[in-house]
Structure 1
Amino acid sequence: MRNFALATVLASGASALTIPLLSSLTGFQTIPVLSLSQGGKAQCYSGLVAVQVTTTGNTQLNFNLPANQSAVTDIFTQYLTSTSTLVQSLTGPDATVSGTFNIHAKLCFPLLSLPPLVTPPTVQFLIHGIGFDKSYWDFAPGYSQVDAAAAAGYATFTYDRLGVGQSDHPDAIQVVQSPLEVDIAHALIQMLRGGALLGTKFSKVAIGGHSFGSIQSIGIASRYPADIDAVMLTGFGLSASAFGLTFAGFNAALANKNQPARFGALSNGYLVTGSPQSNQLTFFKNPNYDAGLFAQADNNKQTFTFGEFFTLAKVVAPAAAFKGPVDVVIGQNDFIFCQGDCLSPSDQTAPVAGALFPAAGGNSDTFILPGAGHALNVHYGASRVFAHMNNFLKNNGL
């Protein structure tokens, strides 16, 4: 049981609402900001969390910062050339990276009334993909896994990955790579299990990822199988046949030139998708989304790094020791993993668990959201995804 005081906040512009306020605010560098989720179902505490971590899995990349946008475009041209050996030529040995990184995180609880105040045993640890930040999971009223999870009795933990949003933006080539991000996630999970955040211990952790966040989730299950009790992969499949088309479609742009007001201080190692058309091609399926949410996603588009690009799938390996249940969810018209049709030549969710989680147990499941593109959380019908994920956990006793 947690100890609470009372606080009054405004719920999405509505009337003032009195909600319980945690008296233990440990783990955040300063007093965390108290807010409600988009639909008002969860009470959330957000702020910077210092994560001390060492990884031995990064790659020494023989690659210098591009001088300008022309150089960036040429790098991707080289990568996409049919006879390309770019990645092999740049890849050096494994590298060790250590540091303390400030990660902006949000821990949300179901909106509870006094009494009783009971900590949910299970926290959903949700990792966003490229092009988004943690708001992907709490995007708008009706488009929020944070809300849906709270209504189902779950806590949620979301965060801006390293190099994204309000988290630190260190060296974009040698530091912000996929393996280091896996170890940061591992450290955060240990904090949640150990009660280092808000004095609240969680006995169960269900990891959920979107796209690159799903790749991260696989890396965690493979390297740290004891961290998690269930895996939920969204926006993910086994096929890489459209990856070249995806990065061509991204039309990668220097973040500091494309969005100077937001990213002007970043190095030339930080990139964004080049245009709204880039985001539509790779993330959205017309007309199955709200135009206002599309504009919101494009206006708030987030960075990715050359380090991530060159180490994207390095952490992917079969999680042979993970024995929990696995859920695989994708939009029917996902472009990145299915080239627009996840039912061709057959259900693309079906082989994932067997290939990557050979010892998975419990009630594993799959779901394809009709009419949705890659960013399925911001398409019509997203609530069906959230309900499916929460039911998957319930069906496995979590």
Structure 2
Amino acid sequence: MKLLLVTGFLSFLGLSAAFPRRPSCSSVSINVTAEAGNIVFEDLPDVNNATSVIEFLASSFDAVRTQHNRRQINGTFTIKATHCRPLIASPNSLSLQLLVHGITYDRAMWSGFGFPQYDWQAYATSLGYHTLAINRLGHGIESPHPDPFAVVQGPLEVEIIHSLIHTAREGRSTLGDFDKILYVGHSYGSSLGNMLAQKHPLDVDAFILTGFSGDLGTSASALSAYGSAAMVSSRFKGLPLGYLTVVNESDRTASFYGGSFDPSFAARDYDREDTVTVGELLSPGLQPVETDYRGNVLVMTGDLDVLFCPTGPDTCADALRETESLFPNANFSSIVIPNTGHCLTLHQSAPLVMKTAHTWLHGLQH
């Protein structure tokens, strides 16, 4: 296992002050068929009462992890995504980066919400990669919003991602033909990647898991920051009350930011936040799992990440080192990003994060 402590100035890695030019991107809708055994919740709350929904979440958060009743959920699901094409001809053009966002975000986080210094898509395509930033099931205002208790859960989301990957590998989409699939996740998207590696260990050639470790510090008390999205913002009018979001800007900033970041950008982040479902918070996919994955894994987490380095910056390296136990047979590396909170691609260290990740990818080819 390689543990890299990233310190010093961005110039250490030869970062340019100039940002990559805007990529050529298009919005796509991909229909995939998937089936999974989702958790069956006992004694559901009054789904038309926001207070009952939040009380159910808090009372169930710890107990549901041992619940084993399952129901098969299947169907064809429409996934909204942004496909960005390479800006240069490169051997990397045979690789697709699948970008999977975290809780209360959607695919737009990978564009940095239009700010070039946070734009992962622009950085990757400038090196010749294709990127596909997806809206996970039930995410994004423009996406369908299935039942937030029974349907939008981790097990089904993993199977949808599995189907997406097979569609891309087999050339059955309009995206192109790819030899390699590179999974880039953030937070809950990283947790789903961990679960995908357990269930389908041959799907992905390399995982980059940001805002992640094997030490998830979230407890039932942390859920007090969430409320039914339809009651928080008019943007979510009409959504079922099991779709939640962060109620207060201060709570969101405290959870997702730390160290060196732009407060005005964090405020903008709050203004366009997305949702998370009760089903996602209570089903498999949130908690880390051990895998038999034998490929390549890079975990990148900020030292001030209060969710995945909950005991503080001095022990964050230890948390990432211990995360190797989830991938005992993989080529595993981890990197602590200094002076950075949970959403590390949205901090002032974002150029360092992107450079470091792609340097690691380049190293896999040699």
TM, length-normalised to structure 1: 0.81
Distance 1:150 1:200, change over 3 A: same
How far is the alpha carbon of 1:243 from its aligned partner? 3.3
Q: 1:268, 1:209 → 2: CA distance? A: 27
Contact 1:58-1:97 at 8 Å conserved across structures? yes
2:340 corresponding residue in structure 1: 372
Shifted more, 143-152 versus 65-74: the winner is 65-74
Distance 1:276 1:204, change over 3 A: same
Which residue, 116, 119, 133 being the options, matches 2:106? 133
Q: 2:172, 2:65 → 1: CA distance? A: 41
After TM superposition, list the pairs within 5 Å mapping 1:153-172 onto structure 2: 153-165=128-140, 166-172=142-148
State which structure, 1 or 2, has the greater radius of gyration over its C-alpha atoms.
1
1:303 corresponding residue in structure 2: 275
Q: 1:69, 1:289 → 2: CA distance? A: 33
Do structure 1's residue 100 and structure 2's residue 80 form an aligned pair?
Answer: no
After TM superposition, list the pairs within 5 Å mapping 1:18-57 onto structure 2: 40-55=21-36, 57=37
Contact 1:66-1:72 at 8 Å conserved across structures? yes
Q: Mark the runs of 5 or more structure 2 residues left unpaired by the alignment.
A: 1-18
Do structure 1's residue 207 and structure 2's residue 183 form an aligned pair?
Answer: yes
Instruction: Say how many residue pairs are matched.
Output: 344
Secondary structure at the aligned position of 1:138 is classed as helix
1:317-343 CA-to-partner distances (Å, cap 9, x unmatched) read 3221x2111101001100111226243
Q: Tell which has more relative contact order, 1 or 2 (C-alpha 8 A, sep 6+).
A: 2
How far is the alpha carbon of 1:134 from its aligned partner? 0.9
State the superposition RMSD in angstroms: 2.3
User: Alignment identity in percent?
Assistant: 29
Distance 1:304 1:41, change over 3 A: same
Which residue, 113, 116, 123 being the options, matches 2:96? 123
Q: Mark the runs of 5 or more structure 1 residues left unpaired by the alignment.
A: 1-37
Q: 2:278, 2:55 → 1: CA distance? A: 13
Do structure 1's residue 357 and structure 2's residue 327 form an aligned pair?
Answer: yes
Shifted more, 219-228 versus 64-73: the winner is 64-73
Do structure 1's residue 269 and structure 2's residue 236 form an aligned pair?
Answer: no
Do structure 1's residue 332 and structure 2's residue 303 form an aligned pair?
Answer: yes
Do structure 1's residue 382 and structure 2's residue 356 form an aligned pair?
Answer: no
Secondary structure at the aligned position of 1:225 is classed as coil
Distance 1:352 1:119, change over 3 A: closer
Distance 1:174 1:110, change over 3 A: same
Distance 1:372 1:285, change over 3 A: same
Structure with the higher fraction of residues in helix conformation: 2
Secondary structure at the aligned position of 2:144 is classed as coil
Q: 1:289, 1:317 → 2: CA distance? A: 31
Q: 1:396, 1:39 → 2: CA distance? A: 23
Q: Which amino acid aligns with 2:33?
A: Q
Q: 1:383, 1:178 → 2: CA distance? A: 30
How far is the alpha carbon of 1:77 from its aligned partner? 4.6
TM, length-normalised to structure 2: 0.87
Q: Which amino acid aligns with 2:193?
A: S
Secondary structure at the aligned position of 1:338 is classed as coil
2:255 corresponding residue in structure 1: 282
